[in-house]
Amino acid sequence: MKQPRPTRYTTSQGQRILQYMASLGEQHVTAHQIVRHFASAEAVIGQTTVYRHLERLAAEGKIRKYLLGEDTGACYQYIDQSKACQEHFHLKCEKCGALIHTDCTLLDSMEDHLLQKHDFQINLLKTTLYGTCGACLAAAKA
């Protein structure tokens, strides 16, 4: 068997998009915001290209995709590879957008429970628990 050529090319667009996502840290952005960001750059990146890279980066586990408001579109956030994010649950606050990384044995045991009792292998990279964080809960009560 002949070794096939790499199925992926490195392009300036792909690099710039990933770089931009990384530069934002844990802040999330929409596809449209990314397009606008590069609209003022020397070399514009088309929205089709942005969507295609976001899809690929999400599939590769480099970024996360969220569906926050129903009135807006999806938003994306960079994943810090050093944080072992494929091993714990993530909570995303719908109000303020904060991302909470859980480090909790009970939640981890849920992974086993799902597999043992529900015959379901959960994918923690793609799974996000949506809700309201403590700070926003307190703010709502006041």
Q: Segment 71-130, which members bind DNA (CB under 7 A)?
A: 72-74
Q: State the nearest-atom distance from the C-beta of 88 to DNA, in Å.
A: 20
**Alpha-carbon distance 86 to 127, whole Å?**
10
Q: Which stretch binds DNA (CB under 7 A): 25-33, 77-85, 92-100, 124-132?
A: 25-33
What strands lie across the sheet with 75-78, from one edge to the other? 29-30, 75-78, 63-66
Our finding on whether 35 is near a copy of itself (CB under 8 A) is no
Q: Which stretch binds a copy of itself (CB under 8 A): 11-19, 22-30, 39-47, 117-125?
A: 117-125
Residue 92 neighbours by CB distance under 10 Å: 21
Q: Are strands 90-93 and 75-78 parallel, antiparallel or unpaired?
A: unpaired
How far is residue 32 from each of residues 38, 78, 140, measured CA to CA in Å? 10, 16, 30
How many residues are given for the chain?
Answer: 142
* Residue 92 backbone phi and psi in degrees, to 5: -120, 125
Q: Segment 54-93, which members bind a copy of itself (CB under 8 A)?
A: 65, 67, 70, 74, 91, 93
Our finding on whether 45 is near DNA (CB under 7 A) is yes
Q: Segment 48-67, which members bind DNA (CB under 7 A)?
A: 48-49, 51-53, 55
Our finding on whether 31 is near DNA (CB under 7 A) is yes
Q: Which residues bind DNA (CB under 7 A)?
A: 5-14, 30-32, 43-49, 51-53, 55, 72-74
